[in-house]
Homo-oligomer: A and B are copies of this chain.
Amino acid sequence: MKKINVAVAGLGRIGKIHLKNLCRNFPELEVVAVMDVLDESKAIADEFNIPNFTKDFDELLASPGLDVVVICSPTDTHADYVVKAAKAGKQIFCEKPLDLSLERVVEVLEIVKESGAKLMLGFNRRFDPEFKKIKQLVLNDAIGDPQIIKITSRDPGPPPVSYIKVSGGMFLDMTIHDFDMARYISGKQVKEVFAKGAVMVDPEIRKAGDIDTAIITLTFEDNTMAVIDNCRKAVYGYDQRLEVFGSKGMAQAENNFPNNHKLYTESGVSGDLPLHFFLERYDASYNQEMREFIDALVSGSEMPVNGNDGLLSIAIGLAAKKSLEENRPVKIDEILN
C-alpha cells in the first residue's frame, strides 16, 4: 500500500512531539520533509532520518508526492500556511489557534472550504484518556443531562512576558483549550460569557496588558452552565481537572501523577505532584489526536475537530476579553455578527 506522505512545518516543542509520533507510531505514513526557520533544527530532521529539511514553507509544500501538512509553526503563520496548503490541495492538521483575528479565521475557513481540503485543529485535550472517558460517560448517559461543567486549568508557570505580548492574551492563548473542552463536553453552543480576571502572579503581565488569573462563566443555549478557573502559575504544577454534574450523577477527571505512591511519615501522608506540564500530561493525547486525524483522512469521515470548532473557541475567547474589559456578560452573537 502506498504510504501517506507527510510534511511537518515548525519544530518547536509541539512540532517535535508530532514528528516523533508520526515517525514511530504510524507505519502507514512517511514523513518526507520538515521545515523550521532555525538552522539548528536540521539536527532534529537528521535524528529522525527525514530526507528533506528546509527553512521555507513553500519549498516544504512543493515536496514531491506530498499528501498532508502538519502545521506547528508560530500562531501568526497559521493562517497563511493553511491557506497555502489548502490552495496546494493538501490535507491539513494545524495547531490552535488558526489566527487571533476572527475576520481572518472566517476568511481562511472560507478558502479551505472552497479548496475541498480537510482541516483539523489541534485541540489535543479532547484526546486525553481522562477527558475522553468523561465525554464517553456523557454520551452513555451515565451522568444524565449535563447541568454544570467545571474546568480547572492552571499552568505551572507563566510564559515569558515577551510571548504574552504577542499571544493574544490569556483567554486566546491558554483558556481557548478550556473553551473547546466545555464545548466538546456539552455538545451545545455557548451563548454568553462572563469573565473576571486579575493579575496575581506577575505585575509585568499587567504591563503587557494581560491578566494571569481568571474565572469565566459560560452559559450554553439551553441555560446549562460551565465555569473555568485559570491561573498562569500553580506552584504545585500543572492542574488539569474536569467535572460534569448532571441529572443522573457527576463525573470527575483528576490530575495525572507520575506514580501513585503514598508515603506515611511522622509529618503526614504525602505523594508526588501531578505530571509537570503539558508535554508530560498530554503525551498520550498528541499521539491519539494524530491517530484520529489520519484515520479520518483515510476513511474519509468527518474531522474530529474542525475549522468551526477553532472559530467558535476564538469567538468565546474574544467575548471573554470584552466581558473582562466591560465587566458585563457578553453574548457570543455580539462577537460573531
Q: Which residues from chain A sit less than 8 Å from chain B, CB to CB? A: 24-25, 27, 47, 129-130, 133-134, 137, 142-145, 147-148, 150, 154, 194, 196, 198, 200, 213, 215, 217, 219, 223-225, 227, 229, 231, 234-236, 239, 245, 247-256, 258-266, 268-273, 327-329
Contact = CB atoms under 8 A, between A and B. Distances in A.
A125 to B, nearest CB: 13
**5 cross-chain pairs, A with B, having the tightest CB-CB distances, nearest first:** A249-B265, A236-B264, A254-B260, A270-B270, A198-B223
Contacts of A236: 249-250, 264-266, 269
Query: Copies per complex?
Result: 4
A319 to B, nearest CB: 14
Given A254-B260, A260-B130, A217 B219 contact: no
Given A147-B213, A231-B147, A265 B248 contact: yes
A137 B273 contact: no
Given A227-B229, A245-B234, A261 B213 contact: no
A90 to B, nearest CB: 27
A227 B224 contact: no
Contacts of A130: 259-261
A268 B215 CA distance: 25
A258 B253 CA distance: 12
Given A245-B154, A260-B253, A215 B235 contact: no
